[in-house]
Structure 1
Amino acid sequence: MLFKEVHLNGIKSGKITLAFRKWQKASVKCGSLLHTSVGLIEIGKIENISENCITEQHAIEAGFTDKQQLLKSFTHNSTETIFKISVSYHSAEPRVKLREQTELSEKVFTDLKKKLERLDNYSKKQHWTNKVLSTINDNPNLHDKGIAELTGFEKEWLKLNIRKLKNLGLTISRNVGYELSPL
């Protein structure tokens, strides 16, 4: 579930408490946490709502000036359901603290190496982690398409797996591309 930066800042400040999405089926679950650029966003109650039941107040709570602006934000697929989703700021992004580490104990270093080995060993594209990390190191802020071209990996596969490296605190996503973290 993607949010525009202005909406993320509104959620963090508490000014935005709702989100509306038009989907075939809900793609988030109540109680789940989303990693975003402002931190973790918690998904609360999710309910179907008809367009007629959306109020001006709902639109304001979702960060829009009025109902018409909210409705214009939807893709115009008439077969999809509108979902009203409660959202709130949960906490700072835990991966930031992880990636800012510059000194590791022997045990933490060994555990990290084991996790990378596991990613390599359980992937159909064995021994990819070092290749991807080296490419990011040599080409900071290069977008995923460029990294895919340099490594020979499919772009969508690469994006998913760079996220795994990010979850270990090893990479940082930028507005354009990626870079290695201090870790």
Structure 2
Amino acid sequence: MLFPNYVLTGIVTGEIDLAFRRWKRPMHVAGGSQRTSVGVIGFVAVDAVDIDEISEDDAGRAGTDLADVRALLERKAEGQVYRIEVRYAGPDKRVALRSEGKLTASERKQMAQTLAGMDSRSKRGPWTRQYLELIKAHPGELAETIAHSIGREKRPFKADVRRLKELGLTESLPVGYRLSPRGIAVLRHLQKLSSA
């Protein structure tokens, strides 16, 4: 679910706590969440409503006015209108993870085991260290360029990099990626293990 920057800011400050969308099927559920550029947005309630039930007050809580809400919803002819109650659920934990460049011996061991598990479940063999080394060597490089350099398509390559990002090892740049301080520490540990 895409939110304009002013809406994200309003959700963080608490000035905005509603959103309206027209979907063929619910794209979010109550209790769910979504990561955004400002942190995690929580979905408190997701209810089907009739467009005529939306009030001017509701529109204000969505950071706009009723005419704009209706215009947005009427752009799509098909689907059900949903009233989505939102809240700021806190910072993205991956951001804090990424900045942790000093890991304990136990954390290094656990991360090495996690990556080894990802490698062992891969149908194409070990890949995690290779990706970390490629990203370290080519920060800001187009994902497509890096992917093609190892005979991979862009989309599956990016999906794998997202798995590393979930662990706090990489950071997205306007173009391409770079290793986070945590990623640098983990790669250094992996390299020491292989040279021991």
Mark yes or no: TM-score above 0.5.
yes
Q: Are 2:5 and 1:2 equivalent residues in the alignment?
A: no
Which runs of at least 4 in structure 1 moved beyond 4 Å after TM superposition? none
SS in structure 1 opposite 2:102? coil
Deviation, 1:9, is 1.3
Deviations 1:117-159 (A, max 9, x none): 1112212332222232223222223343344333433333233
Q: 125-134 or 104-113: which moved more? A: 125-134
Amino acid corresponding to residue 175 of structure 1 in structure 2: P
Q: Which of 1 and 2 has greater Rg? A: 2
Q: Once the 2 structures are TM-superposed, how far is the Cα of residue 162 of structure 1 from its aligned partner?
A: 1.8
Which consecutive residues of structure 2, in runs of 5 or more, have no partner in the other structure? 183-196
Structure having the larger proportion of residues in helix: 2
Aligned twin of 2:185: none
Correspondence 1:178 to 2:191? no
- Cα distance change on mapping 1:55 and 1:154 into 2, 3 Å: farther
Structure 2 counterpart SS, 1:31: coil
Taking a change above 3 Å as real, the CA distance of residues 156 and 80 of structure 1, as seen in their structure-2 partners, is farther
Counterpart position of 1:156: 155
Q: Which residue of 2 aligns with 1:37?
A: 37
1:16 maps to 2:16: yes
5+ residue gaps, structure 1 = none
* Rounded Cα–Cα distance in structure 2 between residues aligned with 1:3 and 1:117: 37
TM superposition shift of 1:30: 1.0
TM-score if structure 1 supplies the norm length? 0.87
Counterparts of 1:114 and 1:75, CA distance in 2 = 51
Farther off after superposition, 69-78 or 87-96: 69-78
User: 1:118, 1:46 → 2: CA distance?
Assistant: 37
Q: Which residue does the alignment assign to 1:128?
A: 127
Cα 1:19–1:113, aligned 2, differ >3 Å: closer, same or farther?
A: same
Q: Report the equivalent of 1:108.
A: 107
One-letter amino acid of the counterpart of residue 164, structure 1: R
Farther-moved stretch of structure 1 (53-62 vs 35-44): 53-62
TM-score (norm 2): 0.82
- Counting aligned pairs with the same residue, the percent is 34
> 1:142-183 deviations in whole A, cap 9, x for unaligned?
343344333433333233322211111101123333221011
Deviations 1:19-54 (A, max 9, x none): 222211112121122222211211111001222222
Note closer, same or farther for the CA distance 1:38–1:109 as it changes in structure 2 (3 Å cut): same
Report the residue type matching 1:48 in the other structure.
A
Counterpart-to-counterpart distance in 2, 1:152 and 1:5: 37
Please state how far the C-alpha of 1:74 moved relative to its aligned partner: 4.7
Shift of 1:85: 0.7
| Matched residue, 1:138 | 137
RMSD (CA atoms): 2.0
Contact 1:135 1:151 in 2 (8 A): no
